[in-house]
Structures are given as structure tokens and as C-alpha cells.
Amino acid sequence: MAAPQDLTFREFEVAADLLAETPGATTISSLREPQGHVSLAADTGDQENGDLEENDQTQLLEGEKQPPNFWTFSYHQSFFDVDTHQVLERIKNSLLPLPSQNFVRHCLRHHPDLYGPFWICATLAFTLAVSSNLATLLQNWREASFSYSPQFHKVTVAGITIYCYAWLVPTALWGFLQWRKGVGERVGCYTFLEIVCVYGYSLFIYIPTVVLWLIPVSGLQWFLGVFAVSLSGAVLLLTFWPLVRSDTKVVSAVLLIVVIALHALLAIGCKFYFFQSLPSRSIPVTQAPLRQVTPPGSSKTSAAP
């Protein structure tokens, strides 16, 4: 007669038996296809097994931890290993600068992803183009001479600007921090992808800001811009402060000021280029002939003592 035990899952019984026989073994089970190996080390308190088994274990563990080749698919897949709730949590943390919570250490935890930066930048680029088109429409639809045009070139400009900011500035910052790490001893450095991740998520606040910039009240627009820059700038500052805290005061101050300045410059540049009102655009055209007239006159006057 078949015992009730025969109806249970035999595989686990076999595995449990094997584990009981060799307590020093490591079991590996894959939680997620196709990658995501978790190695569960069984009780390795047995020191009598000798160096051979330990070498095998460490080799096995090292083989697991060895990063795959850059040209394989699974290498890039490791940067998209996030769940929905993780992405939402990272976005939320990029909006709240808490001094106790460093974005990189607390939120990313050595697990940067490229999903957030890439799609936040894409969304921001399209939102900028759409908002700017709508803002032009809202300002000028009452004028008789106005003819609506989609202004599709703004998508290209917005895309290039945002992606350059989100990738070139982290590259420069990472290079600078690596140099300081080489020069000084206690200056730490994040990995390149962690810096890209921080910058990508810090751009999230600009998406609602850009949408709200449609409201044609100038004071409100400036307030929203300043609010967005200060919020995400604070997150960036709090992220990079622990790294440069041990460096010289001049270098750390310059670095932090440059980070904030570039962030603000992005916001101001977008505001002026994409949300310019029509009358102010014509001013540079009328000023140019005046500039051409004055230089010959000024050179004559400067020669005279």
C-alpha cells in the first residue's frame, strides 16, 4: 500500500536527503527566469571538510557573482531587474530630500536600474514638446494672424537636450569623482550607473512642472520652477555630500555648486526656449542692426584719449 508520504513532492525529499548527507553543500535555486540566481548556503559550520570543499564553494559563489560579458543579453538584463513597486518607490524618494536617506545608499542599494532614467527622460522630452506647443497655442489663439503649426522639431531638440543632460553630466561627474578618489584617500565614489540612476530619477519632478507651466501666470511659473529645482537639487546634494565631505572645502563646494547650477540651468533653459512668449522672441531681431552700427563708432572714440 502506498504510504501517504509517497504522495508528497519527491524532489524536495530527495534534496533534503542530499542536504542531510552533505551539510557543506550549496543549493542554488533560480527564482526568476531567466536570471536571478539565489544561492542558499546550507549550514557550513562544519570546518572539518577541509580547504578543498571551501575552495569549491567559493569558486561556485564567485562563478555566480562573476558579471556576464558586456556583449551578452543577460548583462543588460541585470539593469532592468526592477519591479513596478520598486520603480514607484524610487520615484517617490527622488521627490523627498530627507537628510537621513541617501538616495543611492538607501534606495538603490547597489541595485541601479536603467528603466527609470531612460523612460523618465523619454516622457520628459515628449511632455516638453507637447506642453510647449500647447503653450504657444494658448497664448496666440486669439490673434488673427496666428496659424497653428505642430512644431515637431521641438521633439528633437527636447530629446537631445534631456538625454545629453542625463548622460553627459553623470559621465563628467563620475570622471571627476574617480580623479578625486585617486588623489585623495577618503573620497568615495559611486558606480557610473548609480550616478546615472540618481540623475534620471531626479528629472522626474520636471514632468508635472512642465505640465503646470501651461498656466500662463508668470509668477506661478517662476515659483514652480524654483520649487522643482530646489527639491530635486536637494536630493542631488544630499546624495553627493557624503562623498565629498572628506575632501577639501574648495573642491566640495565647487562640485556641489556646479551640480546645482547645471540643474537650474536645465530648468531655466527649458523655460526660455520652450515656453517663450511670442513678443519677446522678436526683440533680438530688432537689436541686431543697432549692434552692427555701433562698433565702427566705438573704435573711433576709443582711439581718442
Q: What is the DSSP string of 138-171?
A: HHHTT-TT------THHHHHHHHHHHHHHHHHHH
Q: Which is nearer to other proteins, 47 or 84 (CB)?
A: 84
Cα 170 to Cα 286: distance, rounded to the nearest angstrom: 39
Q: Which is nearer to other proteins, 6 or 83 (CB)?
A: 83
Contacts of 173 (CB under 8 A, 6+ apart): 195, 240, 255, 259
Q: Which amino acid is at 34?
A: P
Contacts of 231 (CB under 8 A, 6+ apart): 95, 97, 205
Q: What minimum distance in Å lies between the beta carbon of 16 and other proteins?
A: 29
Q: What minimum distance in Å lies between the beta carbon of 209 and other proteins?
A: 18
Q: Which is nearer to other proteins, 154 or 263 (CB)?
A: 154
Q: Which is nearer to other proteins, 23 or 150 (CB)?
A: 150
**What are the residues binding other proteins (CB under 8 A)?**
32-34, 73, 76-77, 79-85, 87, 115, 119, 122-123, 126, 130, 133, 147-153
Contacts of 196 (CB under 8 A, 6+ apart): 112, 114, 117, 166, 167, 170
- 42 within 8 A of 24, measured Cβ to Cβ: yes
Q: What minimum distance in Å lies between the beta carbon of 153 and other proteins?
A: 5
Q: What minimum distance in Å lies between the beta carbon of 275 and other proteins?
A: 16
Beta strands in the chain (DSSP E): 26-30, 37-41
Q: What minimum distance in Å lies between the beta carbon of 151 and other proteins?
A: 6
Q: What minimum distance in Å lies between the beta carbon of 257 and other proteins?
A: 35
Count Cα neighbours of 46 within 13 Å in the Cβ-side half-sphere.
Answer: 17
- Looking at the DSSP assignment, which residues form a beta bridge with residue 28? 39
Residue 5 — φ and ψ, nearest 5°? -65, -25
Q: What minimum distance in Å lies between the beta carbon of 108 and other proteins?
A: 17
- Residue 247 sits at the vertex; the CA angle it makes with 245 and 249, to the nearest 5 degrees, is 85
Q: What minimum distance in Å lies between the beta carbon of 281 and other proteins?
A: 13
- Looking at the DSSP assignment, which residues form a beta bridge with residue 40? 27
Q: Give the SS3 label for residue 30.
A: strand
